[in-house]
């Protein structure tokens, strides 16, 4: 059996980790084994579970594919991804689920597939499939225009609850967006010559996106989601919460929530550098809200970090703020950014382990993942925490070829293992073979 020698675990203990095929056999000191893999006291983390990615197939393979997206994941220490339903066709029927599952065969990492909700969804066939979760359920339009109304949302949450499937929610209330900042003639409320909105308030600077999809729209939608979850007695998770208020609402009411690296590390102050490449939903918030969100990462209030990896091409993003698509890539830079942050903030490596692996596995019930312990999958990534690099878009592997984190510090994995198989070897710049499996297809 192979033994990873002298790995430093997140809590600082130095241990050997013995592998039996795809599984961790033992964690201990001076373990016997035939094939040694030297960790040299570098940091060994459980492979991260990114519960929120958009890998764009079917329908938009010019932005990302399962092959490119999953390589980007592996090169960032992520060994499981959860794909969202706003593809083309949307994953709102059993047939669409099966179609996406065929694309996911190309995945280098393990995965879950979510089901989505639109007026024309087919819950009967959809819930026959092994959904990772129902979601993200869009309470406002985002990429894919899958925003739904309150009644359908309540129905969908009830269906999920009776099927025992968790629900993840994109919580923004479009009726609270500030249309006064829109240019004349763009939205439903805009009229002709008698448009009531003052010319002076219309904006076209990138920060206008944050002014438009303002924080209150998320906070109110989060509150409404709490009520819907309680009525249905459902397990509900708030996706990409961008405000400390929404995190607190979740924490106080039995919901769980996630934050993205971009909402934790970027703010409205960064539009000067990012321009329209900084447009995403929910949008970047004030620097003070960003700081309060980061505090909730550090202090344990936040349940998980997930990336909302939402690639669009450079050409697509290079438009005015009202026409650029929403979303930024992130699956490859999540763990590297968080590990680098442990060097200059109060964030601990144990917390990074928990929010990227242990907690997502526990709260979504992912069998056999999220821990370095006997019986768990050998999903592992090794990091040299003294090797801090400056993030460079050219060195990343997403098909979109850009990152909002260029120039940020990152600690990237030396290698990444998916169920015992090396899927990324940084010194060799070599990927393994596809072979990712659907985490909901195995017996618990």
Q: Active-site residues: which are they?
A: 308
**Residues 255 to 284: which contact ligand NCD by CB under 6 A?**
280-281
Select from 271, 106, 141 the least CA-distant residue to 213.
141
Taking the complex as a whole, the smallest distance from the CB of residue 266 to ligand NCD amounts, in Å, to: 13
- Minimum CB distance to ligand NCD smaller for 172 or for 379: 172
Position 142 contacts ligand NCD (CB under 6 A):
yes
| C-beta of residue 396 within 8 angstroms of C-beta of residue 86 | no
- Minimum CB distance to ligand NCD smaller for 107 or for 143: 143
Select from 266, 291, 136 the least CA-distant residue to 206.
266
Query: Tokens in use for 338?
Result: 């968080």
Question: What is the number of other CB atoms lying within 10 angstroms of the CB of residue 421?
Answer: 15
Where are the alpha helices (H) located in 143-204, listed in sequence order? 150-163
Position 243 contacts ligand NCD (CB under 6 A):
no
How far is it between the farthest Cα atoms of the chain? 81
Position 241 contacts ligand NCD (CB under 6 A):
no
Q: Is 312 annotated as a binding residue?
A: yes
User: What CA–CA distance (Å, rounded) separates 227 from 147?
Assistant: 19
Q: At what angle do helices 287-299 and 244-252 cross, to 10 degrees?
A: 40
Q: Which stretch binds ligand NCD (CB under 6 A): 136-144, 185-193, 363-371, 413-421?
A: 136-144
Q: Which stretch binds ligand NCD (CB under 6 A): 135-143, 354-362, 388-396, 427-435?
A: 135-143
Taking the complex as a whole, the smallest distance from the CB of residue 151 to ligand NCD amounts, in Å, to: 21
Q: Is 86 annotated as a binding residue?
A: yes
Taking the complex as a whole, the smallest distance from the CB of residue 33 to Zn ion amounts, in Å, to: 41
When binding is defined by CB under 6 A, the residue of 54, 369, 397, 399 that contacts ligand NCD is: 54
- Minimum CB distance to ligand NCD smaller for 112 or for 327: 327
- Minimum CB distance to Zn ion smaller for 37 or for 165: 165
Q: Is 309 annotated as a binding residue?
A: no
- Minimum CB distance to ligand NCD smaller for 65 or for 86: 86
Taking the complex as a whole, the smallest distance from the CB of residue 222 to Zn ion amounts, in Å, to: 13
- Minimum CB distance to ligand NCD smaller for 15 or for 290: 290
Between the alpha carbon of residue 27 and those of residues 40, 170, 300, 351, 359, the distances in Å are 16, 39, 26, 20, 20
Where are the alpha helices (H) located in 253-371, listed in sequence order? 261-265, 271-274, 287-299, 314-317, 334-342, 349-353, 359-363
The SS3 call for residue 37 is strand
Position 327 contacts ligand NCD (CB under 6 A):
yes
Q: Is 56 annotated as a binding residue?
A: yes
Query: Tokens in use for 27?
Result: 């964690």
Site track 151-190 with ligand NCD (rule: CB under 6 A), x = hit: -------------------x--------------------
When binding is defined by CB under 6 A, the residue of 64, 207, 308, 377 that contacts ligand NCD is: 308
Position 143 contacts ligand NCD (CB under 6 A):
yes
Q: Is 55 annotated as a binding residue?
A: yes
Taking the complex as a whole, the smallest distance from the CB of residue 313 to ligand NCD amounts, in Å, to: 12
Residue whose Cβ sits closest to Zn ion: 170
Taking the complex as a whole, the smallest distance from the CB of residue 310 to Zn ion amounts, in Å, to: 6
**Phi, psi of 202, rounded to the nearest 5 degrees:** -65, 140
From the number of C-beta atoms within 10 Å of its C-beta (0-12, 13-18, 19+), residue 48 rates as: buried
Q: Is 54 annotated as a binding residue?
A: yes
- Minimum CB distance to ligand NCD smaller for 90 or for 436: 90
Taking the complex as a whole, the smallest distance from the CB of residue 394 to ligand NCD amounts, in Å, to: 23
User: What CA–CA distance (Å, rounded) separates 129 from 121?
Assistant: 14
Q: Which does 225 bind (CB under 5 to 8 A by kind): Zn ion, ligand NCD, none?
A: none
Position 403 contacts ligand NCD (CB under 6 A):
no
Select from 353, 377, 367, 331 the least CA-distant residue to 51.
331
Query: Tokens in use for 144?
Result: 């894919």
- For 9, residues 6+ apart whose C-beta sits below 8 A from its C-beta are 15, 27, 43, 44, 372
Site track 73-92 with ligand NCD (rule: CB under 6 A), x = hit: -------------x------
User: What CA–CA distance (Å, rounded) separates 47 from 244?
Assistant: 27
Q: Is 136 annotated as a binding residue?
A: yes
User: What CA–CA distance (Å, rounded) separates 231 from 156?
Assistant: 12
Q: Is 237 annotated as a binding residue?
A: no
Binding residues for substrate: 54-56, 86, 312
Annotated binding site for Zn(2+): 52, 54, 136, 170, 240, 308
């Amino acid at each position: 059996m192979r033994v990873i020698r002298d790995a430093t675990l997140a809590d600082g203990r130095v241990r050997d980790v013995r592998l039996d095929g795809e599984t961790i056999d033992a964690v201990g000191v001076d373990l016997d084994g035939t094939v040694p893999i030297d960790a040299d006291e570098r940091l060994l983390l459980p492979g991260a579970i990114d519960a929120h990615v958009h890998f764009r197939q079917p329908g938009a393979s010019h932005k990302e594919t399962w092959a490119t997206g999953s390589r980007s994941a592996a090169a960032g220490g992520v060994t499981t991804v959860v794909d969202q339903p706003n593809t083309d066709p949307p994953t709102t029927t059993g047939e669409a689920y099966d179609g996406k599952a065929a694309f996911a065969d190309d995945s280098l990492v393990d995965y879950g597939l979510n089901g989505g909700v639109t007026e024309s969804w087919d819950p009967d066939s959809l819930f026959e499939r092994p959904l990772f979760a129902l979601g993200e359920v869009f309470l406002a339009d985002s990429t894919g225009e899958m925003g739904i109304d309150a009644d359908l949302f309540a129905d969908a949450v009830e269906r999920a609850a009776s099927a025992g499937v968790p629900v993840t929610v994109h919580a923004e209330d479009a009726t609270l967006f500030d249309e006064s900042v829109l240019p004349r003639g763009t939205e439903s409320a805009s009229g002709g010559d008698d448009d009531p909105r003052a010319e002076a308030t219309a904006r076209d600077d990138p920060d206008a996106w944050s002014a438009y999809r303002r924080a209150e729209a998320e906070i109110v939608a989060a509150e409404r989601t709490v009520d819907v979850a309680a009525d249905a007695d459902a397990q509900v998770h708030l996706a990409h919460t961008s405000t400390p208020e929404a995190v607190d609402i979740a924490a106080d009411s039995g919901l769980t929530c996630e934050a993205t690296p971009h909402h934790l590390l970027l703010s409205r102050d960064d539009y000067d550098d990012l321009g329209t490449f900084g447009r995403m939903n929910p949008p970047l918030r004030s620097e003070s809200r960003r700081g309060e969100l980061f505090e909730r990462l550090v202090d344990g209030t936040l349940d998980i970090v997930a990336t909302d990896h939402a690639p669009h091409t450079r050409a697509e993003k290079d438009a005015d703020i009202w026409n650029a698509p929403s979303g930024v890539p992130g699956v490859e830079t999540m763990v590297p950014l968080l590990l680098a942050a442990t060097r200059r903030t109060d964030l601990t490596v144990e917390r990074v382990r928990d929010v990227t692996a242990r907690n997502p596995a526990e709260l979504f019930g992912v069998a056999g993942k999220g821990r370095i312990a006997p019986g768990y999958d050998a999903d592992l990534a090794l990091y040299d925490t003294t090797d801090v690099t400056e993030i460079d878009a050219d060195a990343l592997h997403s098909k979109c070829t850009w990152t909002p984190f260029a120039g940020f510090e990152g600690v990237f994995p030396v290698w990444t293992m998916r169920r015992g198989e090396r899927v990324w070897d940084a010194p060799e710049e070599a990927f393994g073979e596809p072979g990712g499996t659907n985490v909901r297809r195995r017996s618990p």
